[in-house]
C-alpha cells in the first residue's frame, strides 16, 4: 500500500481543501500518514498571506529533499503560495513535481499519473481562479466538526492583502447546494458545521437570485437534528441587521462572532481600504453585544501598516480595551508583492512593529483573562469532542462561544452536547462538571 502525507498551512479554507486532497488520495488507493519519511507522495498545501509562510514552506522542502532522493516521493505543492508562484516555483525547486492552485485539486489523479508515467517532468495547473471549483467529498480529521466553503475568492482588495490576487473574484456557491451539503454532514453525524468564505456576509452578491447570508443561515437552521453552525469571516462593512437578527434568534448558530478589526485608527482603516471607521466598528460591535447577549467577539488585528504612527497604534489599543475581545489573532504587517500597500511610503521599521505587537498582545491577554472570568458559575452547553490530549479521563469540548472546556466524563459522550457547570476559569480554558445531558 502506498502512503501519502498532506501538510497544511494557512487558514480554514486550506484545512477544508486539505481534507478534500486527502479524500482524493485515498480514493486513488493511498493510505494517509502523518509521517513524511514513509510517504510516497507528499502534498504541501500552502499559504502566502504573510512572508513567514514562504519561509516555512522552503524549510519543509529542504526536509523533503532527502526523502525524495531516498524514496522517489512525489512532491506536490498546492494552495495560495503555489497559485502565486506558478511555474517559477518548479523552476526554483526542481524537486517539486506538481504545482497546483486549489481550484484545480480535482486534477490531482491525472497529475500523479503524468508524473508516474514520466509523460511530464512537472505538472503545473494554476490559473482559472475565476471559476467555481468542483464540489469534492471530504473526510475531516474530527468526525464531529466539518467545514463547507460557501464562496470562493474576494472582491475587497484590502490594500495589504494578497488573497484577492491568488483566490480570484468572489464566487458564491448556490444556496441549495450548501444546504444539501450541510444536511448530508448532519446525517453523517457531524455536530458542528463551519461555513467558510473570505467575506461570508457578502454571500450571494454575485448570484442572480435574492439569496443572501441571512437567508442561507435561516435555511441551514431549518435542517433537523442537533448541531451548531459557525462561520468565518464576516466583514464589518457588510454586517447587515438581518444577519444579527438571525444569529440572535436561531439557537443553532454559535454565539461567537469573528469581527476582523485590522486597525483601530480611522486614518489607517482608510489606507487599508476597509470601508469603515473606528466609530462604525465600535457601534457595530456594541449593537451585536446588545442583540446577542453573551456573544463572544474575536478579531484579527495588524500592527505596523505603512504610515501607522504611535497615535494610530494607540487608537487600536483603545478599541481593544473598549470592546474586550475574547481573543484576537495579532499580526505584524508583512509586505506582499503586488498589493497596493507594498509600495506605500512610510513602511514601518521591524523593531517598531515588534514593540507594538508585544504591547498589543499584553493588552489582549489581559482582556482575554477578564472575559474568561465571566464564565464562572455559568452553565454552558458544550459539544464533547473527545478525551483531552494530556489526560484520557478528562474530556474536552467547546462552548457555543468557542471556549475550550475540560471536565470529567465517559468517553461515550463524544459527539453529544452536555451541560457543564463552570467552576474554574483560566485564560484559555474553563474547567467544570457535567450537570446535564
Ligand atoms: N478574509 C478574511 C481573512 C483574510 S487573511 C478576513 O478578511 O478576515 C487573515 C488575516 O491575515 C487578515 O484578517 C489580516 O489580519 C491578516 N493579514 C492579511 N494580509 C496581511 C499582511 N500583508 N500582513 C499581515 N497580516 C495580514
Ligand atoms: Fe483580504 Fe480583505 Fe479580502 Fe479579507 S476581506 S481576504 S483581508 S482583501
Ligand atoms: Fe493563506 Fe490563502 Fe488562506 S493566502 S490565509 S491559505 S486564503
Question: What is the DSSP code string of 284-336?
Answer: HHHHHHHHSTT-EEEEEEEE--TT--HHHHHHHHHHHHHH--SEEEEEE----
Domain count, the chain: 3
On the question of pLDDT at 120 being above 90, the answer is: no
- Domain holding 111: CATH number? 3.40.50.12160
| Whether residues 219 and 181 fall in one domain | yes
On the question of pLDDT at 301 being above 80, the answer is: yes
In this structure, the residue with its CA closest to atom 3 of ligand 3 is 11
Average pLDDT, the chain: 95
Using a pLDDT cut of 90, give the percent of the chain over it.
Answer: 91
Residue range 203-262, pLDDT digits in tens:
999 999 999 999 999 999 999 999 999 999 999 999 999 999 999 999 999 999 999 999
| Whether residues 155 and 219 fall in one domain | yes
**Is residue 431 in a domain?**
yes
Mean pLDDT computed over 371-396: 94
pLDDT bin (cut points 50, 70, 90) of residue 291 is very high
C-alpha 304 – ligand 3 centre gap (Å): 20
| Whether residues 346 and 231 fall in one domain | yes
| Whether residues 193 and 336 fall in one domain | yes
| Whether residues 15 and 120 fall in one domain | yes
C-alpha 233 – ligand 2 centre gap (Å): 9
| Nearest residue to 225 (alpha-carbon basis) of 270, 185, 171 | 185
Q: For a substitution probing ligand 1, which of 10, 11, 48, 49 has the most ligand atoms within 8 Å of its CB?
A: 49
Ligand nearest to the CA of 157: 2
On the question of pLDDT at 117 being above 90, the answer is: yes
**Is residue 139 in a domain?**
no
Per the omega criterion (within 30 degrees of 0), is the bond before 233 cis? Answer: yes
| Whether residues 289 and 177 fall in one domain | yes
**Is residue 134 in a domain?**
no
Q: For a substitution probing ligand 1, which of 159, 161, 234 has the most ligand atoms within 8 Å of its CB?
A: 161
| Whether residues 255 and 106 fall in one domain | no
Lowest-confidence segment of 132-141, 161-170, 244-253, 270-279 by average pLDDT? 132-141
| Whether residues 121 and 180 fall in one domain | no
Residue range 33-50, pLDDT digits in tens:
999 999 999 999 999 999
On the question of pLDDT at 132 being above 90, the answer is: no
Q: Rounded to whole angstroms, how far apart are CA atoms 11 and 162?
A: 13
Grid cell, residue 134, equals: 468542483
C-alpha 343 – ligand 3 centre gap (Å): 21
Residues near ligand 1 (Cβ within 6 A): 49-50, 154, 160-161, 163, 198-199, 233, 260, 262, 300, 302, 331, 333-334, 336
Q: Rounded to whole angstroms, how far apart are CA atoms 280 and 275?
A: 10
Q: How many CA atoms lie within 13 A of 418 on its CB side?
A: 27
Grid cell, residue 240, equals: 447587515
**Is residue 232 in a domain?**
yes
| Whether residues 166 and 95 fall in one domain | no
C-alpha 336 – ligand 1 centre gap (Å): 11
| Nearest residue to 56 (alpha-carbon basis) of 39, 79, 37, 23 | 79
State residue 142's pLDDT score. Answer: 79
Q: Rounded to whole angstroms, how far apart are CA atoms 322 and 436?
A: 35
Cα dihedral angle (270, 275, 277, 281), rounded to 10 degrees?
A: -140
Buried b (16+ CB within 10 A) or exposed e, 206-238: eeeeebbbbbbbbebbebeeebbbbbbbbbbeb
C-alpha 261 – ligand 2 centre gap (Å): 12
**Is residue 137 in a domain?**
no
CA angle centred on 417, ends 377 and 16, rounded to 5°: 115
C-alpha 395 – ligand 2 centre gap (Å): 36
In this structure, the residue with its CA closest to atom 1 of ligand 1 is 198
- Domain holding 199: CATH number? 3.80.30.20
State residue 421's pLDDT score. Answer: 98
| Whether residues 343 and 404 fall in one domain | no
Residues, the chain: 437
**Is residue 132 in a domain?**
no
C-alpha 79 – ligand 3 centre gap (Å): 8
- Domain holding 393: CATH number? 2.40.50.140
Q: Summarize the chain as % helix, strand, coil (round to 5).
A: 40, 25, 35
Q: What is the DSSP letter of 29?
A: T
Residues near ligand 2 (Cβ within 6 A): 154, 156-158, 161, 163-164, 198-199, 235
In this structure, the residue with its CA closest to atom 19 of ligand 1 is 161
State residue 293's pLDDT score. Answer: 95
Q: Rounded to whole angstroms, how far apart are CA atoms 100 and 400?
A: 36
Q: Rounded to whole angstroms, how far apart are CA atoms 392 and 328?
A: 30
Long-range CB contacts (within 8 A, 24+) of 278-281: 278/315, 278/319, 280/236, 281/236, 281/319
Residues near ligand 3 (Cβ within 6 A): 10-11, 13-14, 47-49, 79-80, 163, 166-167
Residue range 49-92, pLDDT digits in tens:
999 988 999 999 999 999 999 999 999 999 999 999 999 999 99
C-alpha 344 – ligand 3 centre gap (Å): 23
Q: How many CA atoms lie within 13 A of 103 on its CB side?
A: 18
Using a pLDDT cut of 70, give the percent of the chain over it.
Answer: 99
- Is residue 45 classed as helix, strand or coil in its secondary structure? strand
Grid cell, residue 107, equals: 486534477
| Whether residues 218 and 311 fall in one domain | yes
Residues of the domain holding 423: 379-435
**Is residue 189 in a domain?**
yes
Integer CA distances (angstroms), 293 to 215, 238, 250, 364, 376, in order: 22, 21, 13, 21, 16
Buried b (16+ CB within 10 A) or exposed e, 159-195: bbbbbbbbbbebbbbebeebbebbbebbeeebbbbbb
| Whether residues 173 and 236 fall in one domain | yes
**Is residue 271 in a domain?**
yes
Amino acid at each position: 500500500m502506498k502512503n501519502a502525507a498532506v501538510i497544511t498551512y494557512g487558514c480554514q479554507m486550506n484545512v477544508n481543501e486539505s481534507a478534500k486532497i486527502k479524500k482524493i488520495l485515498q480514493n486513488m488507493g493511498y493510505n494517509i500518514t502523518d509521517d513524511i519519511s514513509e510517504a510516497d507522495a507528499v502534498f504541501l498545501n500552502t499559504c502566502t498571506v504573510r512572508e513567514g509562510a514562504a519561509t516555512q514552506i522552503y524549510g519543509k522542502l529542504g526536509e523533503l529533499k532527502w526523502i525524495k532522493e531516498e524514496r522517489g516521493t512525489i512532491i506536490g505543492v498546492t494552495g495560495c503560495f503555489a497559485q502565486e508562484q506558478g511555474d517559477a516555483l518548479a523552476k526554483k525547486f526542481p524537486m517539486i513535481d506538481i504545482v497546483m492552485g486549489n481550484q484545480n485539486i480535482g486534477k490531482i489523479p491525472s497529475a500523479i499519473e503524468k508524473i508516474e508515467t514520466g509523460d511530464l517532468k512537472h505538472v503545473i495547473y494554476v490559473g482559472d481562479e475565476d471559476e467555481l471549483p468542483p464540489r469534492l467529498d471530504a473526510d475531516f480529521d474530527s468526525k464531529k466538526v466539518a467545514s463547507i466553503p460557501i464562496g470562493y475568492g474576494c472582491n475587497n482588495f484590502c490594500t495589504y492583502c494578497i488573497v484577492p490576487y491568488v483566490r480570484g473574484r468572489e464566487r458564491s456557491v448556490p444556496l441549495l447546494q450548501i444546504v444539501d451539503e450541510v444536511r448530508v454532514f448532519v446525517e453523517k453525524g457531524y455536530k458542528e458545521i463551519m461555513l467558510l468564505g473570505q467575506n461570508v456576509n457578502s454571500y450571494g452578491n454575485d448570484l442572480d437570485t435574492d439569496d443572501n447570508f441571512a437567508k442561507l443561515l435561516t435555511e441551514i437552521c431549518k435542517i433537523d437534528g442537533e448541531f451548531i453552525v459557525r462561520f468565518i469571516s464576516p466583514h464589518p462593512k457588510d454586517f447587515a441587521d438581518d444577519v444579527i437578527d438571525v444569529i440572535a434568534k436561531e439557537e443553532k448558530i454559535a454565539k461567537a462572532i469573528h469581527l476582523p478589526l485590522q486597525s483601530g485608527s480611522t486614518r489607517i482603516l482608510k489606507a487599508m481600504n476597509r470601508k469603515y471607521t473606528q466609530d462604525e466598528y465600535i457601534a457595530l460591535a456594541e449593537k451585536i453585544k446588545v442583540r446577542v447577549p453573551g456573544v463572544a467577539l474575536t478579531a484579527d488585528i495588524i500592527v505596523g501598516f505603512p504610515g501607522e504612527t504611535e497615535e494610530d497604534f494607540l487608537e487600536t489599543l483603545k478599541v481593544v480595551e473598549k470592546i474586550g475581545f475574547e481573543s484576537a489573532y495579532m499580526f505584524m504587517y508583512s509586505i506582499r508583492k503586488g498589493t497596493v500597500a507594498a509600495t506605500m511610503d512610510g513602511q514601518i521599521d521591524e523593531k517598531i512593529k515588534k514593540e507594538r505587537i508585544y504591547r498589543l498582545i499584553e493588552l489582549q491577554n489581559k482582556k482575554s483573562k477578564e472575559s474568561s472570568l465571566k464564565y464562572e458559575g455559568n452553565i454552558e452547553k458544550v459539544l464533547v469532542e473527545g478525551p483531552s490530549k494530556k489526560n484520557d479521563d478528562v474530556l474536552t469540548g467547546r462552548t457555543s462561544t468557542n471556549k475550550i472546556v475540560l471536565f470529567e466524563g465517559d468517553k461515550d459522550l463524544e459527539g453529544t452536547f452536555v451541560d457543564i457547570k463552570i467552576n474554574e476559569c483560566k485564560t484559555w480554558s474553563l474547567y467544570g462538571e457535567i450537570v446535564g445531558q
